[in-house]
Amino acid sequence: MRSRMGGPVPKFKDYHIWKALYFLSRESPIGRKKLASLLAIGEGSTRTILSILQEEGSTLIRKNGVSLTPEGRKAWDRVAMGIAPLNVETLTIGECNCAVLVPSAAERVKYGCEERDNAILSGATGATTLIYTKGSLIFPGNEYPVDPKADKAIRMMFSLHEGDVIIIGTAPTMAAAEEGAVSAGLKLLGGLHKTQTIEQPTGSMNSINELLAMSFMIHDLVGGLPVCAKSKDDLGIRIENGAVVDNAYTGAVLEEVLKVGTTIRRVATSGPYKGIRVIVTPLEVNNKVVAAIGVVDIRSMAGITNLIRLHEDDDL
C-alpha cells in the first residue's frame, strides 16, 4: 500500500486491499456501498482503496459498479488465498479460528513463529502454521502429522496440494482471526506486489517483528510486567500477560522519548497506566532514535519493592 502524505490517516490496511480484490474476484461488478459493507470500513476508506486499484489499472469503475480488469485478475492471482472459519480446538487457544490457504508457499516458511508474530501485529491472539507435504499436514520442522480431527476439519475446507501452507489465525472474534491469518499469509507471499514501494529509511527498524520480539523478550525478563513499545514509523504495541492487548498503541511518555531521545522515568498521567510508575528508553540505530520501549511497574500499586527506581528529581 502506498503512503499518502497529508489529510486524515486512512483507516484501512493491506488486508482490506486484499479483501477488496478477494470480493471483486468472486463477484463483479460490485457497488461501492456494498463493497464498503463487505470490508466493514467506511465509504471514504473504500473510495481510497478503489482509487489506488484504479490508478494501477486493476479495476474499472462504471455506473453499475466496480470490476476487475485483466491486470487486476493478474494482481489477484499473485496473492490469491482461500479463507474459511475453522473449529480446531486441539490446535489453537482462541475463541474463534480462521484458516487461510497459502498455495505453494511451504519453502518460504521457516519456523512458523514468523507467521504468528505477523498475525499478532494485525490484531489476532496468535496463529498456527501447518505445511502440507507427502499427503500429510505437519508443523514446520516436524515430520509428525497433526491431530486427525484437525486434519479432517482442514481437508473439509480446502483442497490441498503439495507445498501448500495453512495459517490458522485465532482471536476473540472471527474478524480479528481472519485479519491476522490473512495478514500473515500476505507477508509470507511477499506482500501485495505493488508497483511502487517505499524504501526503508536509513537508521530504521528492519522489521516491526524485531520490535515485537524485543518487547516480548523484555516482558519475560521483567517477570511479566506490562511492556509498551513504538517505532517512529509504525503503530505501537502493548503487551500484558504474555499477549499483545493493543496493536495500535501510543502514549505520552513513548512519544516524548521518541522526540527527545533520552530515558524517562515518571508516573504516567494519562492512558491505561495513569498513576503507575513507568520507565521508557529509546532504541537507537546508526545514532538515530528509531523506537521507544517502556516497562510499567504495576507492582508498585501493591506496595511491592519497585523494579523501576525513580530519580529524586523526576516529575511525579
Number of independent structural domains in the chain: 3
* Mean pLDDT within 212-239: 86
Q: pLDDT value at position 58? A: 92
Q: Which of 169, 149, 157 is nearest to 96 (CA)?
A: 169
Q: 21-40, pLDDT tens digit by residue?
A: 999 999 889 998 999 999 99
- pLDDT exceeds 80 at position 11: no
Q: Which CATH number belongs to the domain containing residue 234 in this structure?
A: 3.30.450.40
71 and 120 inside one domain:
no
Tell me: do 110 and 172 sit in the same domain: yes
- H or E element in which residue 216 lies: helix 208-221
Residue 41: pLDDT band (50, 70, 90) is confident
Q: Which domain holds residue 282?
A: 208-302
Confidence of residue 51 (pLDDT cuts 50, 70, 90): confident
Same domain as 278, residue 212: yes
Asked if 86 and 184 sit in the same domain, the reply is yes
pLDDT higher than 70, residue 224: yes
Distances (CA, A) of 281 to 37, 109, 202, 295: 42, 33, 21, 9
Q: Are residues 92 and 154 in the same domain?
A: yes
* 295 within domain boundaries: yes
Residue pLDDT, tens place only, 61-80 = 888 889 999 999 999 999 99
Q: How confident is the model at residue 3 (pLDDT cuts 50, 70, 90)?
A: very low
Distance CA 85, CA 209 (A): 26
Among 157, 189, 221, where does a domain finish? 189
Residue 315 located in a structural domain = no
Is residue 309 situated within a structural domain?
A: no
Both 185 and 85 in a single domain?
yes
Question: What pLDDT sits at residue 201?
Answer: 41
User: For the domain that residue 59 is a member of, what is the CATH number?
Assistant: 1.10.10.10
Q: Does the pLDDT at position 245 exceed 90?
A: no
104 and 46 co-located in one domain: no
| 196 found inside a domain | no
Domain assignment present for 307: no
Helix (H) or strand (E) holding 228: strand 227-231
Query: For the domain that residue 110 is a member of, what is the CATH number?
Result: 3.30.1360.30
User: What integer best gives the mean pLDDT of the chain?
Assistant: 83
Domain end: 160, 189, 218, which one? 189
Q: How confident is the model at residue 200 (pLDDT cuts 50, 70, 90)?
A: very low
**Does residue 198 fall inside a structural domain?**
no
> Is the sign of the CA dihedral 265, 267, 273, 274 positive or negative?
negative
- 228 and 275 share a domain? yes
**Residue 157 reports pLDDT greater than 90:** yes
Question: Does residue 145 form part of some domain?
Answer: yes
pLDDT exceeds cutoff 60 at 205: no
Residues 85, 162, single domain; the answer is: yes
The pTM assigned to this predicted structure is 0.65
pLDDT computed for residue 311 by the predictor: 42
Q: How confident is the model at residue 85 (pLDDT cuts 50, 70, 90)?
A: very high
Asked if residue 311 belongs to a domain, the reply is no
For the segment 262-279, the average pLDDT, to the nearest whole number, is 90
Percent of all residues in the chain with a pLDDT value above 90, rounded to a whole number: 43
DSSP letter string, 252-286 = HHHHHHHHH-S-EEEE--SSTTTTSEEEEEEEEET
Give yes or no: residues 173 and 234 share one domain.
Answer: no
One domain, residues 29 and 121: no
Among the candidates 189, 223, 241, a domain finishes at: 189
| Residues 294 and 217 both lie in one domain | yes
Q: What is the pLDDT of residue 315?
A: 36
Instruction: Report the pLDDT value the prediction gives residue 1, as an integer from 0 to 100.
Output: 39
